[in-house]
């Protein structure tokens, strides 16, 4: 906080507006994750349908994030940011009034559209307003306060879910959005890239959205019905659409992704590491509320408090990560951070049905928080420094899109891994308990609900809980491997000298 109050008044307001605005996107993700078990129970739906509450939002947010960054550079970062905040708030109101799973999904898509405008514009405003060492300090403060608000959101969300139900969590966004809009209109100066072309690459946006959507749909469907001809066809169709997107971008008049922006090896490496690390992080922590609430009997508030060590670590270590990067180099810090995160994931993989919080969830969550605390601010600074100053909006959009797409694909893929491990473990348990035909039919009827399955037979309920823990462990170890690979990419490909030249 001292960094903020040593700045001029206008600098402080710019920081506060961008911090709270960007935090709306992150708060929504963490709070809604806490609400998913309650939503699944309220609508009595499958694990795959519940996954779409997160996946549809992330699909729109991630696939169109490139468009959002481009719009910010072309038409004004302040204008795009304010528009995004307003649309996001409107989508939140729609979620609060949802009367069916279909109406909730439609409102979540609207939220994602607002988020894809404001998330890249938020960091682009910082990149345009600050320069040199001040930019690094501002981004470090942005990361720290963003983590703080992201920590406060789930705690408030847990209280609301337990006291007033899942609908109440969407109202969190409305007063915050109103405050951000007022502060931005009064204190943030408009900035844009005057050389940016005015043509919008609608074709590219459509191809990447449809391609990612098809792949996500195929993987979520496979977790429920297996790899049928239709599922395989959808997966291949999605891959073909993404290939068409790459070809389209090479020939587009004003591509969403300018080819020149990837001329920096460091920029490409940072985004590849982001894909691996944030895919692992998003995929595993999507499953954590289900593990804690459905399999281990925690309340929503207890689950929020249980993940607090990670948020506290992010807050305390955000500026430390920046300082370490300035002293030892960005490459060293961005290699070590993901390796620490991998150790935390591995600890979570050791979870068993009889493990208490302090020896089960706590060590892994704390270690993950320490690793991410060292990583987030240096990674964000490196993304801005590695890009051309005229492309800070699109650079921010690309990195935000990569992190969202990573979560989109990881949640779908890891849900498939979890479903497979759950099914195998349940079959072994049914065989071991010499289950009869009625028990096997009961297990099969609720298999697609995974941890949300509820049985009157105590033996089946215990087997379901243990099967979910087995699947969760497999997912955690796979995420540890992805995080370790992210650290290897950073260690081998980031060029500290190139970052120093671009940031000067």
Q: What is the pLDDT of residue 1?
A: 40
Taking Cα atoms as reference points, which of 178, 196, 69, 193 lies closest to residue 128? 193
**Length of the chain in terms of residues written:** 504
Please check whether residue 22 is in contact with residue 149, taking contact to mean a CB–CB distance below 8 angstroms.
no
- Spatial CA neighbour of 57 closest among 96, 10, 107: 107
Q: Please write the tens of the pLDDT for every residue from 4-16.
A: 445 556 777 888 8
Q: Three-state SS string across 168-232, please?
A: HHHHHHHHHHHHHHHHHHHHCCCCCCCCCCCCCCHHHHHHHHHHHHHHHHHHHHHHHHCCCHHHH
Q: How far apart are CA 119 and CA 22, in angstroms?
A: 5
Measured between alpha carbons, how far is 165 from 11 in angstroms, rounded to an integer? Answer: 39
What pLDDT does residue 197 have? 61
3-class SS at 197? coil
Separation of alpha carbons 374 and 338, rounded Å:
9
Burial environment of residue 452 by CB neighbours within 10 A (0 to 12, 13 to 18, 19 or more): buried
d(CA 58, CA 65): 10
pLDDT of amino acid 484: 96
DSSP letters spanning 120-160? HHHHHHHHHH--HHHHHHHHHHHHHHHHHHHHHHHHHHHHH
Predicted pLDDT of residue 390: 62
Per-residue model confidence as pLDDT tens digits over 219-277 = 888 876 778 888 889 999 989 998 998 888 888 777 777 766 666 677 888 889 999 99
**Weakly modelled stretches of the chain, pLDDT under 70:** 1-9, 29, 131-133, 135-136, 140, 143-153, 193-198, 224, 259-264, 353-354, 387-394, 396-397, 496-504
What pLDDT is stored for residue 24 in this prediction?
84
pLDDT at 14: 82
The per-residue pLDDT for 8 is 58
pLDDT tens sequence across 346-405: 999 987 766 778 888 899 999 999 999 888 888 877 877 776 666 665 676 678 778 888
Predicted TM-score (pTM) of this structure: 0.78
């Amino acid at each position: 906080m001292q960094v903020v109050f040593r700045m001029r008044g206008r600098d402080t307001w710019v920081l506060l507006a961008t911090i709270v605005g960007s935090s709306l996107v992150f708060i929504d993700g963490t709070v809604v994750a806490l609400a998913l078990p309650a939503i699944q129970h309220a609508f009595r739906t499958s694990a795959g349908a519940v996954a779409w509450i997160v996946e549809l939002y992330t699909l729109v947010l991630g696939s169109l994030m490139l468009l959002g960054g481009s719009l910010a550079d072309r038409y004004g970062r302040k204008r795009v940011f304010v528009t995004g905040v307003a649309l996001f708030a409107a989508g939140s109101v729609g979620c609060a009034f949802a009367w069916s799973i279909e109406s909730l999904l439609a409102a979540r898509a609207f939220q994602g559209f607002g988020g894809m405008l404001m998330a890249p514009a938020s960091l682009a405003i910082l990149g345009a307003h600050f320069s040199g060492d001040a930019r690094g300090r501002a981004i470090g403060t942005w990361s720290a306060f963003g983590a703080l608000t992201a920590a406060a959101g789930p705690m408030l969300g847990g209280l609301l879910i337990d006291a007033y139900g899942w609908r109440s969590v969407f109202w969190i966004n409305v007063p915050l959005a109103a405050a951000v809009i007022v502060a931005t209109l009064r204190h943030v100066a408009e900035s844009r890239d005057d050389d940016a072309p005015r043509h919008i690459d609608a074709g590219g946006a459509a191809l990447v959205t449809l391609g990612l959507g098809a792949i996500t749909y195929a993987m979520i469907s496979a977790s429920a019905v297996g790899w049928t001809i239709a599922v395989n066809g959808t997966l291949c169709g999605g891959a073909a659409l993404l290939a068409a997107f790459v070809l389209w971008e090479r020939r587009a008049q004003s591509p969403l992704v300018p080819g020149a922006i990837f001329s920096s090896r460091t920029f490409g490496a940072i985004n590849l590491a982001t894909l691996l690390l944030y895919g692992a992080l998003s995929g595993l922590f999507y499953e954590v509320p289900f593990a804690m609430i459905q399999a281990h009997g925690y309340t929503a508030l207890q689950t929020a408090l249980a993940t607090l060590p990670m948020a506290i670590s992010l807050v305390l270590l955000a500026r430390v990560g920046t300082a370490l990067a300035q002293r030892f180099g960005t490459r060293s810090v961005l290699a070590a951070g993901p390796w620490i995160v991998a150790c935390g994931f591995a600890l979570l993989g050791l979870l068993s049905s009889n493990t208490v919080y302090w020896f089960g969830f706590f060590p892994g969550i704390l270690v993950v928080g320490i690793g991410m605390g060292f990583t987030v601010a240096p990674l964000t600074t490196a993304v801005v420094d590695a890009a051309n100053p005229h492309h800070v909006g699109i650079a921010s959009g690309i990195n935000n899109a990569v992190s969202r797409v990573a979560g989109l694909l990881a949640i779908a893929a890891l849900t498939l891994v979890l479903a497979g491990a759950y099914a195998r473990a349940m079959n072994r348990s049914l065989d071991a308990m010499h289950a009869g035909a009625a028990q096997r039919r009961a297990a099969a009827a609720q298999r697609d609900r995974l941890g949300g399955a509820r049985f009157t037979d105590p033996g089946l309920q215990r087997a379901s809980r243990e099967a979910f823990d087995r699947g969760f462990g497999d997912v955690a170890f796979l995420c540890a491997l992805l995080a370790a690979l992210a650290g290897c990419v950073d260690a081998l490909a980031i060029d500290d000298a190139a970052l120093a030249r671009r940031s000067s």
